């Protein structure tokens, strides 16, 4: 029976229930306006309504609502402001960014920039800041930081600097966080001179650059090809009592390597080894090895390999692939073979990683027969090849129209349990090739493997394969394959 206002009061109910109902009704009447309104309309609608009240500033009007914000609500309000009211949208977003119990995620800054078109129309940011000034709005440090974060997301270096200069108009002092945002923007823009000027300005204003400041400058200098200057910044950092961490040191080391300053890079590597605080790791050493390989300096690259082992740092599969691929590409295949035992015995790298890297490298230099021989030797020795090596070899066999060889190789890989990550394109190409050459027995076996492993037949090859299997009387296989495709 539907309840009506009359039935609520006339239907018999226990006395305590009547009392509870009237008590809750009374409490609802005494709730603040914002909560009462949000009971009848969405939070976003209420906030959007308060954005347009003219009796007070936007921020004060919004603060009267006191809602529990979340990202969904914020996006709803921004969507209402798009596309005709982007300034209001920005003011709302800035206000929301420091409300109790809520902080914007990185995704929200991207969403706001996209919805409000800030990247396409940077003037919106300037208009918002000027509206604060024109209205005599009480602007806080948090508000300026939120505005600058929008500039950061939209990559607006010049606008960010303009906002930084406007801080004094609101009787505020720019802090390190504000400077860091603008410095990083100019470093990413490639205008490192402005970034350096801002760092000097910070010091003259009594602010100490921190690790984030120096990290931005170091990265900017390295990108600009000024790795030697980036190296000099390390001394400046220490002078400010800011010890470089592994990220900063690695960035400088990589920059020195890319600029060809290998002697300086080795000096820095030695400093890192002696410091104890920021010891080089496998990524650090591999970076140096890679750059020596690019220059064909194999002796120096192998010296670094020995040096990392002496330091107690072991190579990984990336180090292995870096050296083996580079040696093969430069025609030193025998040397690449000779490294495998060294990697396994001295660095604990698996034979699987080493041989797989060699198979891939041989395929890349067009030595398919040798790569296939090594691959089959791996299978015979119970050494599992990795996914990339398996996929590349199978793809090459299909390209050479050796689909039957490809199938038997795939079957051998399957028997070792190594097929879990091979791309469905490989299966589909191989199955199509078997069908086109009327290898029904092998095609049937491969289709069953695909069904067992839930590997989907790619749409590009589906019709041809289905027609062949149907003509061959494999109706059950056709039904299962098409059923899997429909379930996609």
pLDDT digits (tens, 9 = 90+) for 352-407: 999 999 999 999 999 999 999 999 999 999 899 999 999 999 999 999 999 999 99
198-222 per-position pLDDT tens digit:
999 998 999 999 999 999 999 999 9
Contact 196, 208 (CB under 8 A): no
Question: Residue range 22-31: average pLDDT?
Answer: 41
List the alpha helices (DSSP H) in 381-423.
Answer: 387-399, 403-415
Q: What is the pLDDT of the chain when averaged over all its residues?
A: 88
249-296 per-position pLDDT tens digit:
999 999 999 999 999 999 999 999 998 778 999 999 999 999 999 999
pTM here is: 0.76
State residue 486's pLDDT score.
Answer: 60
In this model, does residue 27 exceed pLDDT 80? no
Round to whole Å and give the CA distance between 307 and 254.
18
Max avg pLDDT among 22-31, 50-59, 69-78, 421-430:
69-78
State percent of the chain over pLDDT 90: 73
State residue 419's pLDDT score.
Answer: 63
Our CA dihedral for 76, 77, 79, 83, rounded to 10 degrees, sits at 180
State residue 210's pLDDT score.
Answer: 94
Round to whole Å and give the CA distance between 111 and 119.
12
| Token pair of 59 as six digits | 């921020």
Stretch among 15-19, 158-162, 305-309, 325-329 having the lowest mean pLDDT: 15-19
Start-to-end Cα distance in the chain:
45
99-113 per-position pLDDT tens digit:
999 999 999 999 999
113-153 per-position pLDDT tens digit:
999 999 999 999 999 999 999 999 999 999 999 999 999 99
Q: Which residues contact 405 (CB under 8 A, 6 or more apart)?
A: 397
State residue 340's pLDDT score.
Answer: 95
* 3-state SS, one letter per residue, for 317-328: HHHHHHHHHHHH
Q: Is 312 left (phi over 0), alpha (psi -120 to 50) or beta?
A: left
Q: DSSP secondary structure string, 156-213? A: -HHHHHHHHHHGGGGT----HHHHHHHHHHHHHHT-HHHHHHHHHHHHHTTPPP-HHH
In this model, does residue 417 exceed pLDDT 80? no
State residue 480's pLDDT score.
Answer: 87
State residue 16's pLDDT score.
Answer: 38
pLDDT band at residue 66 under the 50/70/90 scheme: confident
Residue entry with tokens 């086109």: 436
State residue 262's pLDDT score.
Answer: 94
């Amino acid at each position: 029976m539907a309840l009506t206002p009359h039935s609520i009061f006339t239907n018999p109910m226990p006395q305590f229930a009547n009392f509870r109902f009237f008590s809750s009704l009374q409490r609802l009447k005494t709730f603040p306006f914002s909560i009462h309104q949000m009971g009848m309309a969405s939070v976003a609608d209420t906030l959007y309504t308060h954005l347009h009240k003219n009796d007070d500033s936007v921020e004060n009007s919004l603060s009267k609502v006191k809602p529990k914000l979340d990202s969904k609500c914020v996006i709803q309000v921004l969507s209402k402001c798009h596309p005709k009211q982007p300034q209001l949208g920005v003011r709302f977003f800035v206000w929301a960014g420091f409300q109790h119990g809520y902080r914007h995620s990185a995704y929200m800054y991207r969403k706001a920039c996209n919805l409000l078109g800030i990247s396409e129309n940077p003037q919106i940011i300037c208009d918002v800041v000027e509206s604060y000034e024109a209205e005599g709005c009480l602007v806080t440090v948090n508000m300026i930081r939120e505005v600058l974060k929008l500039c950061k997301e939209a990559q607006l270096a010049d606008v960010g600097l303009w906002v930084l200069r406007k801080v004094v108009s609101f009787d505020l002092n720019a802090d390190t966080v504000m400077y860091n945002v603008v410095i990083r923007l100019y470093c990413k823009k490639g205008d490192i001179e402005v970034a350096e000027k801002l760092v000097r300005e910070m010091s003259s204003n009594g602010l100490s650059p921190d690790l984030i400041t120096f990290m931005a400058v170091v990265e900017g200098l390295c990108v600009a090809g000024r790795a030697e200057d980036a190296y000099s910044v390390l001394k400046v950092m220490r002078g400010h009592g800011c010890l470089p961490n592994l990220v900063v040191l690695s960035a400088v080391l990589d920059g020195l390597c890319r600029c060809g300053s290998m002697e300086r890079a080795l000096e820095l590597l030695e400093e890192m080894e002696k410091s104890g605080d920021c010891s080089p790791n496998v990524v650090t050493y591999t970076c140096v090895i890679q750059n020596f390989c690019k220059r064909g300096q194999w002796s120096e690259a192998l010296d670094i390999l020995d040096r990392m082992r002496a330091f107690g740092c072991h190579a990984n599969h990336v180090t292995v692939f870096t050296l083996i691929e580079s040696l093969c590409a430069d025609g030193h295949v025998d040397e690449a073979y000779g490294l495998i035992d060294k990697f396994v015995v001295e660095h604990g790298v698996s034979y699987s990683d080493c041989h797989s890297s060699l198979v891939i490298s041989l395929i890349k230099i067009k030595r398919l027969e040798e790569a296939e021989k090594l691959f089959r030797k791996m299978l015979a020795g119970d050494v599992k090849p990795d996914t990339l090596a398996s996929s590349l070899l199978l793809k090459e066999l299909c390209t050479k129209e050796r689909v039957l060889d490809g199938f038997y190789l795939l079957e051998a890989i399957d028997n070792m349990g190594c097929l879990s990550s091979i791309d469905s394109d490989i299966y589909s190409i191989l199955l199509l090739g078997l069908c086109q050459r009327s290898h029904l027995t092998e095609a049937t076996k491969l289709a069953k493997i695909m069904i067992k492993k839930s590997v989907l037949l790619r749409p590009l090859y589906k019709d041809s394969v289905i027609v062949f299997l149907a003509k061959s009387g494999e109706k059950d296989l056709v039904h299962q394959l098409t059923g899997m495709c429909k379930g996609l």
